[in-house]
Amino acid sequence: MSADAGSTGDTGSAGNDDGTAEPVRTALPAETAEHDGMGEQAEADDGAPRRHSRRFPLITRDTARPEGGGRAAPGDAPAPARQWPLLCVLAGTAAGLLVTLGNFRAGILTMGAAMLLGALLRWSVPSVGMLAVRSRFTDVLTYGVLGATITLLAMMAQPKPWLEIPLLEGILHFSIR
């Protein structure tokens, strides 16, 4: 079987720079692909390092932690102290829900501010524990957009809105007509 230079496919071979075909390993059985967990390659029976494929394995055995997803406090600290960034955001959200019972707008503003605090913590603190869900950029963008949207909508709530945006009012009237 021959392969063109640089082509890869399901044929089980990949082209070298000189145009010859070379077998590609897709997934190794668990007993032959032993790792020490520190990123070192396993060695073949003859002692030479085994070349691993860059293809994804057929079966995923673990997921990578998001960057910054480590503990926010040392491991010997109690569980709540290790997750203090997430607890700050949850406490702000719970406080906002309680304030909503008395003053709707102030409660919603508090919840929006808690989301903005989450974005600030995710951006500035290197290890935020379970507040890290995705990559740092995606988390900051998600928390920031949600917090800003909740805050703006709270300020635009009826009756007697604190903030009026004519463009949004025009879009609303156009869509309802």
The model's pTM: 0.58
| Residue 177: half-sphere exposure toward Cβ, Cα within 13 Å | 6
Confidence label for 5 from pLDDT (cuts 50, 70 and 90): very low
Task: Return d(Cα 156, Cα 124) in angstroms, integer.
Answer: 30
pLDDT in tens, 8-63: 444 444 445 555 555 544 444 444 444 444 444 555 566 666 667 777 667 767 66
Per-residue pLDDT tens digits for 55-101:
766 776 766 666 666 767 777 777 778 888 999 999 999 999 999 99
In the chain, where the domains are located: 1-62, 79-176
Contacts of 141 (CB under 8 A, 6+ apart): none
